[in-house]
Amino acid sequence: MAVLLSTKSDTMMAAWRDALRAVDPSLDIRLFPDAGEPADIEAAVCWTQHDMAELRRYANLRLLVSMGAGVDHLMRPPGPPPGVPVARLVDARLTQGMTEWVLLNVLRFHRQDLEYRALQAARVWRELPAPETSARRVGILGLGELGTAAARAIGALGFPVMGWARRPKAVEGVEAFHGADGLDAMLARTDILICLLPLTPDTRGVICARTLALLPRGAFVVNAARGGHVVAEDLLAALDSGHVAAAALDVFEPEPLPGDHPFWSHPRVLVWPHAASITIPSSAAPQVVENIRRAREGRPLVNLVDFQAGY
């Protein structure tokens, strides 16, 4: 039985093949589109470009794995083949990368880096009023693997941290909110908003004119989750009116961000090419091999996706 790998570049494909083989040299690995005999494929490890309809060719598929933490690409219609369980990545290095990226942007905004760069461009030597860490409230949308790690790191620096999840949560040092009322209550007190939600029908467009208006004037927006969480025109309007002071955006809809999109040249927008945290195959491979073994043996999978919740 064989494992099908499908990702965007040949280099990444080779890195995944080598990483999986380093964990289990006996694996028969096929690189899409060279799947060989379709009936051989028992597991597929896919990234965002793979068409879910194509997976229906593999009658013996018993496991689908996302090459990232997010699974929205696998849930897009027509979705995974019926009856095939889906696992995602929960990986220490992916979490570390995201924590670093979030900290980078929180500190950039908190320490007025955009203002100091503008002063540098104008060759102006001027000290701005010192910001107060304990007065800069950070609100995180999503208190899962990534959101919780980011919350802890931000809290450790002395920022008051809040987080919003689907269900009630208890995270030490974090004021937790949930549900629609919880969202509005958190936004009203959020000076730096960070999005680390999965993209589902419930979370699409969560950062929109209504929710942006709830933020205090001069708040910052940091989105590392998915482009579909943000209504781009609403964010641009909030930036142009000064209601939102600046935004750091790593994810867009569509990707790559089209060359003529206003985000590229907006003086208050920091654009990243979906690189906040990049999966490192050698770090992620052990859990993927573990799931392949578990699927073969009919044992419960790790990092299983809840189809009902969509993440």
Cross-strand bridge partners of residue 223: 195, 249
Smallest gap from residue 145 Cβ to ligand OXD (A) = 10
| Catalytic residue list contains 274 | yes
Which one of the listed residues 166, 226, 243, 296 is annotated catalytic? 226
d(CA 63, CA 88): 11
* Residue nearest to ligand NDP as judged by C-beta position: 144
- Least separation, in Å, of the C-beta of 276 and ligand OXD? 8
- How many of the chain's residues bind ligand OXD (CB under 6 A)? 4
Q: Which residues bind ligand NDP (CB under 6 A)?
A: 68-70, 94, 98, 142-147, 164-167, 169, 196-200, 202-203, 224-226, 250-251, 274, 276-277, 311
- Which residue lies nearer to ligand NDP by CB, 257 or 276? 276
- Of 164, 166, 189, whose CA–CA distance to 174 is shortest? 164
Which residue number, 155 or 227, has a Cβ lying nearer to ligand OXD? 227
Compare residues 88 and 110 and give the one whose CB is closer to ligand NDP: 88
Selection from ligand OXD, ligand NDP, none that 166 binds (CB < 5 to 8 A by kind) is: ligand NDP
Q: Which of residues 50-69 bind ligand OXD (CB under 6 A)?
A: 68-69
Find which of ligand NDP, ligand OXD, none residue 288 binds, CB within 5 to 8 Å per kind. none
Smallest distance from the beta carbon of 309 to ligand NDP, in angstroms?
7
Tell me whether residue 123 is one of the annotated catalytic residues. Answer: no
Residue 190 CB, shortest distance to ligand OXD, in Å, is 23
Is position 139 an interface residue for ligand OXD (rule: CB under 6 A)?
A: no
Nearer to ligand OXD, 187 or 284 (CB): 284
Using CB under 6 A as the binding rule, whether residue 279 contacts ligand OXD is answered as: yes
User: What are the DSSP calls for the chain, one per residue?
Assistant: -EEEEE-S-HHHHHHHHHHHHHH-TT-EEEETT---SGGGEEEEEE-TT--TTGGGG-TT--EEEESSS--HHHHSTT-SPTT--EE----HHHHHHHHHHHHHHHHHHHTTHHHHHHHHHTT---PPPPP-GGG--EEEE--SHHHHHHHHHHHHTT--EEEEESS---BTTEEEEEHHHHHHHHHTT-SEEEE-----TTTTT-BSHHHHHHSPTTEEEEE-S-GGGB-HHHHHHHHHHTSEEEEEE---SSSSPPTT-HHHH-TTEEE--S-SS---HHHHHHHHHHHHHHHHHTPPPSSB--TTTT-
**If binding is defined by CB under 6 A, does position 203 make contact with ligand OXD?**
no
Catalytic residue (choose from 229, 274, 293, 294): 274
Positions annotated as catalytic residues are 226, 274
Residues that bind ligand OXD (CB under 6 A): 68-70, 279
